[in-house]
Amino acid sequence: MVISLYNPRSKKRVTHLDEVREIVLKYRDPKTPVGIVQKAGRPGQHMVISDLENFTKEEVDMQTLVIIGNSQTYVENWSHDYTSRLQIMIWVIAGTFRWSYLSGRHPRTDR
């Protein structure tokens, strides 16, 4: 199961994201990919791929979407031919996905 957190941190909610991280680390590998999108679909949109162990070190605020991958989520060095599932999820949720990014190839099956 992929976990998505919208608006995960604010001036008053400063510990919630760390608490979520600690809970999820009990069940997932620390190297599980985590996608972070700030200002999705708006000017200044910024995307980062981190991991479960380190994602709370990234800038996360009220305008951020955090996507914690599942046991099957992976990240590759990607180009237009090879795109990670997590990156595709980020594009879809941010509203910036285009089928042309995939060049008609699936990142797992077309190698």
Read off the pLDDT of residues 9-29 as tens digits, 9 standing for 90 and up.
888 988 999 999 999 999 999
Upper half-sphere CA count for residue 96 (Cβ side, 13 Å): 14
The per-residue pLDDT for range 26-45, each reduced to its tens digit, is: 999 999 988 888 887 778 88
Answer yes or no: is pLDDT of 107 > 80.
no
pLDDT of 95 over the 70 cut: no
Determine the residue type at 11: K
Task: Give the pair of three-digit tokens for residue 50.
Answer: 């981190």
Q: Tell me which of 39-48, 64-73, 74-83, 96-105 is least confident.
A: 96-105
CB 56 within 8 A of CB 15: no
